[in-house]
Structure 1
Amino acid sequence: MKTKVALITGGYTGESEISYKSSAFVYSQIDKEKYDVYVIDITVADWTYTDDAGQKHTINREDFSLSIQGEQVKFDVAFIILHGTPGEDGRLQGYFDMIGVPYTSCGALTSALTMNKGYTKAIIQDIPNLNVAQSVLLFDVDRANGEDIVQQKLKLPLFVKPNAGGSSIGMNKVNAWSELGKALDEAYDAEGTGQQVLVEEFVSGREFSQGIYRDAQGLLQVLPATEVITTREFFDYIAKYTPGLTQEITPADLRPEQKEQADALVREIYIRLNCKGMVRVDFFIQKETEDFYFIEINTIPGQTAQSFIPQQVRASGRTETAFYGELIEAALLKR
């Protein structure tokens, strides 16, 4: 009997476009001889499965099951590839916890916490040898005087971004105080990001992204890092999703001691935040000091063929098929 996998995609925000691309790639790579995979599209309007004939079937949300031609389909595991709300912020995870369906991602609390960039920094900022940029967290009540608060506490240049959100949507670099108001408005108004804004001082350095996951034996596996070099001022939404604007070097050109330190820090971040499944940690190595600076953690990283994690999986000598199988088997161990 094959393991029945609900491959979850879609979402309630603009990141759904990326979710569909990621889930299509994951679906193409999962071993169909071992797993019976159903792509479940979760939107504000409905939760559905579309069969090979193009007919849609609605998920029964009481137990996350399907009824297809009179037969009930119940899932052994949920493979969550849904970026943004509700797949990355803990909402789906809490639902699955309540109905007893194991899943491949971090738990509800970790997912909710790490979706909030400011709160995440507060948890990891005392990890030895890990630095965080000076920052200010603005709430909705601070909107009217946000510019004054930032100017009193930080110095230019700055990064302004929604405190909850992904794919660099609503993010801007500010080089002059005259640019701050517009950047704050864009961050505040970004869809589904909770009306909170994180403003950070700019750290000049090399940018990296590195994956880590727990395998089917329960062991932590750190993947090779990727260095990100963009022709744009920073790695924004356009740089991420426009071919030719960014060079991604996997594995990154790091000295042995830098690689050892990066692996150790990524591992400690994973443990400190009580992560599960695969996550991706983004960080800078500052040019002047070679200090490591935390940027953010992504608990549902992109999974297209060009995304960081698949690049790193291939660079480690693994195949995506074996990797996704490990994630499914590790999730089943949670039962």
Structure 2
Amino acid sequence: MKKRIAIIMGGYSSEFKISLKSGNVVYDYLDKDQYELYRIHIFRDKWVYVDSNENEIPINRADFSIDINNKNIRFDCIFNAIHGSPGEDGLMQAYFELIHMPQTSCGFYQASLTFNKRDLLSVLKPYGIKSAASYYLNKGDVISEDEIIAKVNLPCFVKANKSGSSFGISKVYKKEELKNAIDVAYAEDDEIIIESFLDGIEVSVGVIKYKGKTKVLPITEIVTENDFFDYEAKYEGKSQEITPARITKTQKRNVTQTARKIYDVLKMKGFSRSEFIFIGDEPYLLEMNTTPGLTTASILPQQAKEAGINLSQLFNNAIQEVLG
């Protein structure tokens, strides 16, 4: 009997359109001979199963089931393709744990921690993971431009603390630009992290559980046409994503060891993709994503392809890691 897999996509954040693309790619590439697949849209105002005719059937939130033709359908596993809240910040993970529903992403604690850039970097610091100098703001705090600049210098990056796909991020060159950059970040989140500019090679490193073991995928070098790897660079062709990265053997060894260490220290499972910038041979962590893009053009699938893992294998493995 085929296992029933619910692919959740959408979400509550600015990333919902990207998530819908990822979810539909997962739907297209998962083995339909092995699984019975259901596309589930998760939005603030509705949780619905979307059938092949684009009809919507509400989800019973008590047990995450659906009723079709007077038959109650329950799922064997959830494939999480939601970027941002509530699929990447721990909310869905906690819900599924409460109703004893297996799901492909990391646990709720790991999701919540990694979604919070400030907390993630603080937790990893005692393990020797390097990161940029930073300054924190919460909405309502008094803003002292001089104090910020004294801590992180210029240029600097102003980021929404809990956001993805470079929403709410600005690169600031002048003191006069700080206030507007802070307002842009507050439009996405009520917490901000302001970081010093690190001038070096930027790389993205995918780490997954594959056939029961932690696997670091081939490294991708990010070369952007824009001032930094912003939304336009990520999704509108304004960057080069070069896999494998053009880095030295020492840099490759160091970032591979660091990415694996982070994944294992945090007791991660499922997909992850972390961004680093090299200062000399040392990788400095920027952030970690636990439901990275899964389209054919996304970085993690590119890395898997370089490792000899196609999309069907990548997605099917994620299910097998959960169901055994």
State the TM bucket, normalised to the shorter chain.
Answer: over 0.9
Structure 2 match to 1:254: 247
CA deviation string 1:239-272 (max 9, x = no partner)? 11112x1011011122223222221111001112
Distance 2:55 2:139 in 1: 43
The answer to whether residue 42 in structure 2 is matched with residue 42 in structure 1 is: yes
- Secondary structure of 2:268 counterpart: coil
The answer to whether residue 166 in structure 2 is matched with residue 182 in structure 1 is: no
Letter in 1 for 2:321: A
Q: Which runs of 4+ in 1 moved over 3 A?
A: none
Distance 1:270 1:311 in 2: 20
Change in 2 beyond 3 A, CA 1:157/1:53 = closer
Q: How many residues align?
A: 324
Structure 1 match to 2:272: 279
| CA deviation after TM superposition for structure 1 residue 148, in Å | 4.4
| CA deviation after TM superposition for structure 1 residue 140, in Å | 1.8
| CA deviation after TM superposition for structure 1 residue 320, in Å | 0.9
Q: Is the 8 A contact 1:134 1:200 kept in 2?
A: yes
Structure 2 match to 1:291: 282
Distance 1:332 1:147 in 2: 52
The answer to whether residue 233 in structure 2 is matched with residue 239 in structure 1 is: yes
Greater mean deviation of Cα atoms: 272-281 or 156-165: 272-281
| CA deviation after TM superposition for structure 1 residue 123, in Å | 1.0
CA deviation string 1:74-102 (max 9, x = no partner)? 10110000111111100000000000001
| CA deviation after TM superposition for structure 1 residue 141, in Å | 3.2
Letter in 1 for 2:24: A
Structure 1 match to 2:138: 139
Distance 1:151 1:135 in 2: 10
What are the ranges of 5 or more consecutive residues in structure 1 without an aligned counterpart? none
Distance 2:163 2:206 in 1: 19
| CA deviation after TM superposition for structure 1 residue 293, in Å | 0.6
CA deviation string 1:89-141 (max 9, x = no partner)? 0000000000000111111111111111000000112334x421000111123
Structure 1 match to 2:207: 212
What are the ranges of 5 or more consecutive residues in structure 2 without an aligned counterpart? none
- Secondary structure of 2:308 counterpart: coil
Q: Is the 8 A contact 1:212 1:280 kept in 2?
A: yes
Distance 2:276 2:116 in 1: 17
TM-score, length basis structure 1: 0.94
Distance 2:290 2:55 in 1: 32
Distance 2:281 2:155 in 1: 20
Identity within the alignment, %: 40
| CA deviation after TM superposition for structure 1 residue 207, in Å | 0.4
Greater mean deviation of Cα atoms: 246-255 or 91-100: 246-255
| CA deviation after TM superposition for structure 1 residue 226, in Å | 0.4
TM-score, length basis structure 2: 0.97
